[in-house]
Structure 1
Amino acid sequence: MQKYSVNQHLIETILSWVKSGEIAIPEIQRPFVWDSSKVRDLMDSLYQGYPVGYIIAWKNPNVNLKDGSLSEGKKVLIDGQQRITALTAAILGQYVVNKTYERIKIKIAFNPIEEKFEVQNPAILKNKTWLPDISEAISGNLFKIVKQYCELNPEVDQELVEGSLMRLMELPKKQVGLIELAPDLDIETVTEIFIRINSKGVVLSQADFAMSKIAADSQFGGNTLRKAIDYFCHLAIAPEFYKHILDNDSEFAGTDFFQKMQWLKSENEDLYDPEYTDLIRVAFTSQFSRGKLSDLVSLLSGRNFETRTFESEIAEKSFEKLKTGVLNFINETNFKRFLMIIKSAGFISPKLIRSQNALNFAYIVYLKLKEDGVNAVAIETSVRRWFVYSILTGRYSGSAESMFDYDVKQISEKPFQEYLKEREDADLSDAFWNASLVQSLDTSVSSSPYFLTFLASQVKDGDKGFLSRDVTASDLISLRGDIHHLFPRDYLKRSGLDRTKYNQIANYVYMQSEINIKVGNKAPKDYFELVRNQILEGNLLVSGLNTVEELQQNLRMNCVPVEIMDMTLDDYPEFLNLRRKLMADKMREYYFKL
């Protein structure tokens, strides 16, 4: 079966379809990211008669309306947005929204004598041999423009100028290839076709296609919803963007969405800076109790999964439901409460979190439990536990979408605590804590989720930094302190050990830099002798610890075996084994206290 059609269309026809809404530009890639020189090159290619590639559209299915009539589906542009936007800017003279969300005009100049295009600049504006803006020339009267040009440049060949300008004005008559994908294709097939056709190797995610469906809709407020998703994610990273929305998008500034996200204008928290894919996934999964974004695309198109038809009523309800999900996500109380819960588990810094999907699903758990009326204390425990459980088990590190779909259906069918207990019994047995986790700590990757969870457990317990009396691990992490080696790196390196050996995470500890300098590159036996001497003599040369009890307590909270105080190079393998077990024990105790 033919899955698509390929046709050549005049540029002016394509642009008229964009203007009328027959082709919807969903802004998958969102703002216009081409620089002006690429627009100039596109105009030159068209003028020279060079091919400029294909644009790809996916036809929305025809939808049954409530009155029984049929509504013809729009074509949704899924590739070629930048080229189409460049054409509307250069040929029609329309504004574009650039990557900093500013409305700008891109003016391309043309020299009919040299038949050359250039981005308009002050020098060109002063040079009479240049037409400063081709959009004005293309929409103007050929004979009038030739006459004016020759009056300004009396020495030029009028026939040459007339010929050049005639070819310029024929740019809208040039053809562009349109690949139109069939409306009954599923997302997986559309993605596969897109990848095979697209020579740039760009891969669109399922969230991109969902965004295209949202943005292409004008009937149920999808275009505004798209802005809400986009603007929230931008504001979360750049609060100063708030004023830009006020100044440049007064229509959106008057919406309920904008009122609900105003709190971000003075927010600098960076623990969870969602991208639009995260926001769509959380809003959809929490509201629809489904995890596959292909289902969202179908529902927004009005798909009736039983009759396999498309109905306007289903599309309307789906947009309303998704809107609720987005509003729940961006709600200040929800967002801040969720972050407070994550921080209360010890994950106080974005550098402790390496799984955005673990955060996403933890937020889904929070939103669903809140919607179900579960009490606040139980929500806190459940969200903390699930978040740490999913990190320790790498639950969303593989096919996250399938796992989202499975988990959300489970927690929609049974009490959350019951499902969590099932997962703990299956995945966090004694064998996990005593063997699997210990083995997982045998790595040199400092961003290992197990090491980051260990650090979170230290934050949760209020532990002090290694050999510190007053400075906590939390302080060192928050203030971007450094990770140092218990068996000093230079000491091990000089002894012939390679990077994977001396950089073991069981050899890592958060330590004040000034203490690390005192430790130097000595064997543990030697630098601990200094520590013990300072306690005996009361001179505090290495750290602030001044009693044996304080030293022993500090070793315990950092999971450093007391045997280290008498260790040298030969004891390093034994030290690593001892510390891994202590770290795993601490994480076990931490988890069940969450």
Structure 2
Amino acid sequence: MGFQTPQPLLKDLLPKIAKGEIQLPDFQRGYVWDEERIRSLLVTIALGHPLGVVMTLQTGNDQVRFKPKPIEGAEVTQGEVEPALLVLDGQQRLTSLSQALWGDGVADTHDTRKKVVQRRFFIDIAQAVKDPGDLDDAVKSLPGDGVVRANFDRDIVLDVSTREKQLEHGYFPANLIYSDQGTSWLFDYADSGAAKAFLDAVVTPMQSYAIPSIELDKETTKDAVATVFEKVNQGGMKLTVFELLTAKFAGDAHYYRETGTDFRLKDDWEETRRVIEKYPVLESIQETEFLQAVMLLASQHGGTATTARKDDILDLSLADYRAWAGQVRTAMEWVAGFLDTEHVHTGRDVPYPPQLVALAALRVLMGEDIDVHGVRAKVRQWYWCGVLGELYSSSTETRLARDVDQVPDWARGADGAVTPRTVDEANFFESRLHSLRTRNAAAYKGIHALLMADGTKDWLHNQRFDRAHYLNLAVDIHHIFPKAWCIKNEIDPEFRESVVNKTPLARKTNQVIGSASPADYMAKLDSRAKIPAAELDAIVAAHQIDVADLRAGSFEAFFTKRREALLRLVESAMGKPAVRDVERDALGGGTESAAAFVDEPDDPEDPEEDDPPPEEE
């Protein structure tokens, strides 16, 4: 590997970026800098301060053949021009400079609130001339149209949208620094003395600004480039595992000899993404999670310790990736089916996204055996132990590896198989039912799914909560004794907001319930459902509710009995007894065992947090 250390002038780099002579490897992330970072960068250039080294790679390399893409804002489209250099480090800086200092000078960025905005940058001549050594206040970030508005955009505070108005206010457009139009603009500026001082103190030094760089030559090896990316990754905008692995796989010599082309991890991911798009419940699986599933399988079969650690994924070979990636993709469709049978219907309802990684790996390892009745029952038990025991909330990578090692033999009933630690360690405390309040908790989502899977139906529509009805009826988990009623009757928030006082219902059903006492809304449901009261009672009772207590409006009796019923539901799913740590003779409070769990804050996006608007009659 050879390299040069040129210091190209910024004024020479900008047109090369615009023409596509300098581009990016196509796996590089998008542009992410906010407007203040761009403005600060321009101040650095204007003051002549060092910018930091940019690293590039010459194209035409026989070993490293990254697919190029233009830097955002360039004048060319992807594939239109073959670049001479690819930027390995410095993308954000070069993109900022090319957008702010070239072309129309409008940068597509975001503000401090992460709102997408367009910004154009100007230099206040009077401010810059007053103190050329302190240009921070002189460099201005304005809206892309050059008009600053206030009072909800009704009042114009500053307008530099045209050349005439820029000259009037003395706001020099930053994109004219490296343009021939800059000189004529300053020539027309009314204060010729200030214009001359600004030209000497700011414009001329900026036009001679050089950027230090390292340019890797065409002999640079694939391994060397991978090392470069790992070193670069220790700094500012860190590359993801997927991006680093893309760099490693690109130009793999064996693959190139075998196929005559280069391996594009990004293109392969598109196949995976198409599978995910078919099953919205899988939306939490992104590039890294997919790679974790592949790594679990590759490491287990590679004679090393099973691992899902992100750092270890960088050791994944292209051969191993190709051996397992297709199988993981197929397994993901099985995972979507498994979740559907467990009544987890949307990505929002998935208790622990990392468990989907383990499920996909288990499907590959166990093949069709995983659907044998007894084997699937064990896999289901392991799944619910992880959810209800809330064990996938920390040390996820370690648990993934351990479960993939332990679950298959145990589920098949192999001789000498040990009980997976996820099953062995899982515990559920009765008092946890008091502190489960929102879908921020995995166990809350889990109980929601278990209720729907237990033969329950919507009270008004008498429809099971399969995926189609779940989506069509806008099902969510809602209060049984409405929040307004509970507040009026001074029910402790611990019990009012508990999952014990919530159940899955259609949006329309929740509107019928409104804020009335169950003693009142049950009579209303009798009328609206058009079925005998006894039949409605059976539908409601399937939600683990004592209907007599509901019709009597007796919250305490209802809560105590339903808490026990939900506890039995949890025990059935986990295949083991729960810890009963609540007083039997009253609603009571939890013992110290519940203190290990942090009470979830109310989720303002959850519709069950407040009673619905009254139903229109």
- TM-score between the two structures when normalised by the length of structure 2: 0.59
Query: 2:312 aligned with 1:295, yes or no?
Result: yes
**Aligned residues: percent identity?**
14
Query: 2:290 aligned with 1:279, yes or no?
Result: yes
1:510 is matched by which residue type in structure 2? P
- Distance change >3 Å, CA 35–CA 263, structure 1 → 2: same
* Correspondence 1:502-513 to 2 at 5 A: 502-512=496-506
**Are 1:225 and 1:323, in contact at CA under 8 Å, matched by a contact in 2?**
no
Task: Work out which of the residue numbers 456, 470, 479 in structure 1 matches 2:473.
Answer: 479
Task: Work out which of the residue numbers 180, 202, 207 in structure 2 matches 1:169.
Answer: 207
Q: CA RMSD in A?
A: 5.5
**Are 1:112 and 1:165, in contact at CA under 8 Å, matched by a contact in 2?**
no
Give the whole-Å Cα distance in 1 for the aligned partners of 2:335 and 2:567. 27
Following superposition, the deviation at residue 398 of structure 1 comes to 1.0
- Partner residue in 2 for 1:417: 412
1:361 is matched by which residue type in structure 2? A
Task: Work out which of the residue numbers 535, 545, 553 in structure 1 matches 2:538.
Answer: 553
**Are 1:488 and 1:520, in contact at CA under 8 Å, matched by a contact in 2?**
yes
Q: In the TM superposition, what whole-angstrom CA distance separates every residue of 1:267-318 from its partner, at most 9, and x where no partner exists? A: 4735434233323322322333322222222x25xxxxxxxxxxxxxxxxx1
- Partner residue in 2 for 1:541: 527
Give the whole-Å Cα distance in 2 for the aligned partners of 1:507 and 1:276. 38
- Distance change >3 Å, CA 47–CA 488, structure 1 → 2: closer
**Are 1:362 and 1:386, in contact at CA under 8 Å, matched by a contact in 2?**
no
- Partner residue in 1 for 2:383: 387
2:205 is matched by which residue type in structure 1? R
- Distance change >3 Å, CA 146–CA 511, structure 1 → 2: closer
- Distance change >3 Å, CA 546–CA 84, structure 1 → 2: same
Give the whole-Å Cα distance in 1 for the aligned partners of 2:422 and 2:249. 43
- Partner residue in 1 for 2:243: 211
**Are 1:564 and 1:575, in contact at CA under 8 Å, matched by a contact in 2?**
yes
**Number of residues of Structure 1 aligned to a counterpart in Structure 2:** 469
Give the whole-Å Cα distance in 2 for the aligned partners of 1:175 and 1:89. 20
- Partner residue in 2 for 1:575: 558
Give the whole-Å Cα distance in 2 for the aligned partners of 1:92 and 1:338. 49
1:480 is matched by which residue type in structure 2? A
Query: 2:55 aligned with 1:33, yes or no?
Result: no
2:389 is matched by which residue type in structure 1? T
Give the whole-Å Cα distance in 2 for the aligned partners of 1:438 and 1:392. 11
Higher helix share: 1
Q: In the TM superposition, what whole-angstrom CA distance separates every residue of 1:350-405 from its partner, at most 9, and x where no partner exists? A: 332131112222122223334xx747557866665543332122232111012123
Structure 2: unaligned runs, 5 residues or longer: 56-62, 64-85, 111-117, 129-137, 147-159, 215-223, 257-261, 301-306, 576-617
Secondary structure of the 2:336 match is: helix
* Correspondence 1:112-123 to 2 at 5 A: none
Give the whole-Å Cα distance in 2 for the aligned partners of 1:277 and 1:24. 25
Query: 2:544 aligned with 1:564, yes or no?
Result: no
Query: 2:255 aligned with 1:227, yes or no?
Result: no
Give the whole-Å Cα distance in 1 for the aligned partners of 2:447 and 2:279. 26
Query: 2:453 aligned with 1:436, yes or no?
Result: no
**Are 2:309 and 2:397, in contact at CA under 8 Å, matched by a contact in 1?**
yes
- Distance change >3 Å, CA 479–CA 375, structure 1 → 2: same
Following superposition, the deviation at residue 167 of structure 1 comes to 0.7
**Are 1:111 and 1:131, in contact at CA under 8 Å, matched by a contact in 2?**
yes
Structure 1: unaligned runs, 5 residues or longer: 1-7, 58-64, 66-73, 177-182, 233-256, 301-317
1:442 is matched by which residue type in structure 2? H
Give the whole-Å Cα distance in 2 for the aligned partners of 1:91 and 1:469. 62
Query: 2:417 aligned with 1:406, yes or no?
Result: no
1:391 is matched by which residue type in structure 2? V
Secondary structure of the 2:475 match is: coil
Secondary structure of the 1:404 match is: helix
Following superposition, the deviation at residue 31 of structure 1 comes to 0.6
**Are 1:468 and 1:554, in contact at CA under 8 Å, matched by a contact in 2?**
no
- Partner residue in 2 for 1:45: 44
Secondary structure of the 2:29 match is: coil
- Distance change >3 Å, CA 522–CA 273, structure 1 → 2: closer
- Distance change >3 Å, CA 35–CA 555, structure 1 → 2: closer
**Are 2:495 and 2:501, in contact at CA under 8 Å, matched by a contact in 1?**
no
Following superposition, the deviation at residue 328 of structure 1 comes to 4.2
- Distance change >3 Å, CA 261–CA 277, structure 1 → 2: closer
Give the whole-Å Cα distance in 2 for the aligned partners of 1:540 and 1:274. 43
- Partner residue in 2 for 1:500: 494
- Distance change >3 Å, CA 111–CA 319, structure 1 → 2: farther
Q: In the TM superposition, what whole-angstrom CA distance separates every residue of 1:112-134 from its partner, at most 9, and x where no partner exists? A: 89867678869778569799785
Task: Work out which of the residue numbers 426, 438, 452 in structure 2 matches 1:446.
Answer: 438
Query: 2:579 aligned with 1:584, yes or no?
Result: no
- Distance change >3 Å, CA 296–CA 473, structure 1 → 2: closer
- Partner residue in 2 for 1:488: 482
**Are 1:12 and 1:172, in contact at CA under 8 Å, matched by a contact in 2?**
yes
Following superposition, the deviation at residue 418 of structure 1 comes to 4.2
2:395 is matched by which residue type in structure 1? S
* Correspondence 1:57-72 to 2 at 5 A: none
- Partner residue in 1 for 2:364: 367
- Partner residue in 1 for 2:321: 322
- TM-score between the two structures when normalised by the length of structure 1: 0.60
- Partner residue in 2 for 1:247: none
1:546 is matched by which residue type in structure 2? P
2:446 is matched by which residue type in structure 1? T
Give the whole-Å Cα distance in 2 for the aligned partners of 1:394 and 1:577. 24
**Are 2:478 and 2:504, in contact at CA under 8 Å, matched by a contact in 1?**
yes
Following superposition, the deviation at residue 173 of structure 1 comes to 5.0
- Distance change >3 Å, CA 340–CA 154, structure 1 → 2: same
Following superposition, the deviation at residue 343 of structure 1 comes to 0.7
Give the whole-Å Cα distance in 1 for the aligned partners of 2:37 and 2:210. 18
- Distance change >3 Å, CA 428–CA 390, structure 1 → 2: closer
Following superposition, the deviation at residue 490 of structure 1 comes to 2.9
2:41 is matched by which residue type in structure 1? L
**Are 2:444 and 2:499, in contact at CA under 8 Å, matched by a contact in 1?**
yes
Q: In the TM superposition, what whole-angstrom CA distance separates every residue of 1:317-351 from its partner, at most 9, and x where no partner exists? A: x133234444444x4x5433331221122111233
- Distance change >3 Å, CA 455–CA 411, structure 1 → 2: closer
Give the whole-Å Cα distance in 2 for the aligned partners of 1:96 and 1:281. 40
Give the whole-Å Cα distance in 1 for the aligned partners of 2:402 and 2:87. 33
Which stretch shows the higher mean deviation, 280-289 or 515-524?
Answer: 515-524
Give the whole-Å Cα distance in 2 for the aligned partners of 1:420 and 1:561. 44
- Distance change >3 Å, CA 354–CA 500, structure 1 → 2: same
**Are 1:488 and 1:522, in contact at CA under 8 Å, matched by a contact in 2?**
yes
Following superposition, the deviation at residue 507 of structure 1 comes to 1.2
Following superposition, the deviation at residue 510 of structure 1 comes to 2.8
